[in-house]
Each structure stands twice: as structure tokens, then as C-alpha cells.
Amino acid sequence: MVTNEHLARRLDTDDAWIRTRTGIRRRHAVDPGQATSDLAVEAGRRALVCAATASVDAVVVATTTPDHSCPATAPAVAARLGLTGAAAFDISAVCTGFVYGLASAAGLIAAGVAERVLLIGADTYSTIVDPLDRANAIIFGDGAGAVVLRAGHPDEPGAVGHFDLGSDGAHEDLIMVAAGGSRQRSRPGEPSRQDRHFGMRGKEVYRHAVTRMAESARATLSRAGWKTDDVDHFVPHQANLRILHSVADDLGLPRERCVTHVESVGNTGAASIPLALADAAAGQTLRPGDRVLLTAFGGGLTWGSCLLTWPTLPAPAPPYDPHAQGERTTS
């Protein structure tokens, strides 16, 4: 766990400055040698236990921080979970990855390709964010969350409903790791330190994020014939608290219906929505049959929204004990 006080010791900032601008109090970081797949496997294991199933037909991992540029991370995750033989692939839509993954998993089921799909959102931003970058090091954290989807009926609790997905690649430079891909590798010379790390133009991203998430959420509600008052819980991508509240205000949703978890974990990319859902479920904020609106925005630019009803779930799986794995805790 990395607190604001810990960051203040190496960055020109303090706890009050971070909380005022982001709402974040702490975030988590993997230990040296840990990778995205390690978090994804644990989240996937817990989701399988929660779903009372030992097998799925496909594994989808939404991530911006794969273990390797080649191959995808999902097949290795599937193998470590004992799911060798299942279809497995990654989705790269940055912070919109989980919503894109939901649409992909629902499509596999609707097409008859799979009966059950394990969807994992997992990111280790500490591996790509410059630790000396005052603007971004305070925002991002590492984490993973997972769900199991199965074939069902639209009128039962847990049904995934309408989607809205979009992108605008003309603004790809707003959120980017410039080095490491074929564009940079095809050019002579070594990349700069800045190009090797995650970059984000915060003020422009803020404007796009609020506008795109609100527009996407409205489009999804319209397709379903829902009104804003029909939404019991609004779960946006946990970018920062100011963005979450701005989108809720734009939609005319009371802030108390906005599920937030960013205070405790920061912006965890594709993991942020499932982590927020897991936290709300553990606190019994989400109850079977509740109508939930998800919306996200990420690099690409990408955005997307989804409607669902909350399922009946068994007791949560045993919590992950980081100390049993030798993880370092920083307070």
C-alpha cells in the first residue's frame, strides 16, 4: 500500500494537495518481479469460486500492461487457473477495457461460442508510470478484478443489457506510452525516458472524459428505454473523484448513487470498475435485482457504457493475503 504521505516524501506534493485534486488517499503497487498476470490469476480464482464453477469456455483479459508485448497474457492466466484449452485473448482499450470486455464476452455467449466466460480487468500501472511524474504517480495504482458470465435470460438478476461503445483515434496522443511499439521500434535511436513511460495530458483528458462518459451513458439509457431515475447505482471508471462527480452531475444522478472506490485504490485502469463493484457488493451496497449503469473512458480515445442488473451472489471468496506472498507494505 502506497499512501499519499509516502508519495509526498519523494514528490513535490502533500496529502492535502493530492486529496483535493483527485480524492485519492492511497493506492497499491506490485513488488519487483510481480506482473499483471499474477494479479489476474488471483482475481480470476476468486471469481471462479464465487461463481461456483471450475471451468469456462473462454478467458478474456482487459489490460494496458500485459506481461509481454507478445504473446497475450490471457493464455498464461488461463493455464495457471487450470483452464488450458479454453479460448483466451487480451483486450487493449486502456481504462475502457472492462466495458469492452463485457461486450466481447456477452457476444461470445450470444453467438453460441461459449457458455461461460471469465473476464478479468487487470493493470499494473506502477510498471509504466514514471515514479517521478508528479502528475500521474499520484493517480494510478495496481489491481485486478474479475467476473464470470454465463448464458441466461434477460429477465433474471445478473443479466447484462444494452451497450454503447465508441472511439476517436484522432486524439490518441492524449493518453499514450510512446515507446515500445512498432512505431518507435521502426525508427533509429533510443527512446527518451519520457517516451518510455505513461503520459497523459490531464486537463484535456478531463474534458473529454466527462463529455464522452455522460454522452455514452445517455445513449445506453435511451437504447434500453430507461430514465435516469431507473438507475439504482452508477459505477463509472474510477479515474478520480472530480471526474466521477462531474459525470454524475451531468447525468442528473444524485452523488449518493455513484459507487466510488478510487479513494482506496486510485485509478487502476481496466480493473477499476470490477474492483468498485466488488467493494460495493462486499459492503452490501449492491443487492440482487439492483439496476446498475457502468461507464468508462480511456486512451485511444475509447469510451463505453453498459446496463446490468445485479445478480444473487454467494459469500465472497477468502480475501487475498499479500503478506503470505511476501509483498512489501509501505505506509
Q: Active-site residues: which are they?
A: 95, 237, 267
**β 160-167/58-62 pair status:** unpaired
What contacts 193, CB < 8 A, 6 or more positions away?
A: 130
Provide DSSP, 179-210: SSSHHHHTSSSPPPHHHHS-EE-HHHHHHHHH
Containing 164, the helix (H) or strand (E) segment is strand 160-167
Provide DSSP, 78-113: HHHTT-TTSEEEEE--GGGHHHHHHHHHHHHHHTTS
Which grid coordinates belong to 81?
A: 487457473
Determine the 3-state secondary structure of 177 from DSSP: coil
Backbone phi, psi, residue 229, to 5°: -65, -15
**What is the spatial order of strands in the sheet that 116-124 belongs to?**
87-91, 58-62, 116-124, 142-150
Cβ distance 90 to 69 under 8 Å? no
Cβ distance 228 to 252 under 8 Å? yes
Q: Give the span between the Cα atoms of 89 and 108, in whole angstroms.
A: 12
Residue indicated by cell numbers 452523488: 255
